[in-house]
Amino acid sequence: MATIFSKIINKEIPADIVFESETILAFKDINPKAPVHVLIIPKIEIPKVTDLKASEHSLLLGDMIDAANKIANDMGIAEEGFRLVFNCGDNGGQEVYHLHLHLLGGRKMNWPPG
């Protein structure tokens, strides 16, 4: 089912886009939880992590990690470190059911997460 992220992909609503390729879009989170908070999403509609098949989606997952590393480098947080997070389902804290990888950085992250 289409979510607000499909509207961002289709440029029907604005977003602060930091990276785009044929398969991936990355944009700043509207409600950032860290100085750097970027969402990296596939352009195809996959609701959540449990809908992924590693064998089928390996290239897409690789593209998402490559994008995260590139953005972390571009934003100057690669050296000091960062966190990559997939929230999955209710208990995972997922609000938008279009797969997205959170890239968080620019401050020390807490562990365990809340």
91 binds ligand 5GP (CB under 6 A): no
CA distance 46 to 28: 20
Structure tokens at 88: 């999955």
- The catalytic position among 37, 57, 98, 100 is 100
49 binds ligand 5GP (CB under 6 A): no
Give the one residue of 22, 31, 59, 108 binding ligand 5GP; rule: CB under 6 A: 31
CB of 57 to ligand 5GP, least distance (A): 18
Alpha helices in the chain (DSSP H): 4-9, 58-74, 89-92
Determine the distance from the C-alpha atom of residue 29 to the mean position of all C-alpha atoms in its chain, rounded to a whole number. Answer: 9
CA distance 58 to 63: 9
64 binds ligand 5GP (CB under 6 A): no
Q: How many residues bind ligand 5GP (CB under 6 A)?
A: 13
Beta carbon nearer to ligand 5GP, 27 or 82: 27
Pick the stretch among 49-57, 73-81, 93-101, 105-113 that binds ligand 5GP (CB under 6 A). Answer: 93-101
Match 């690789």 to its residue by tokens.
62
Catalytic residues: 100
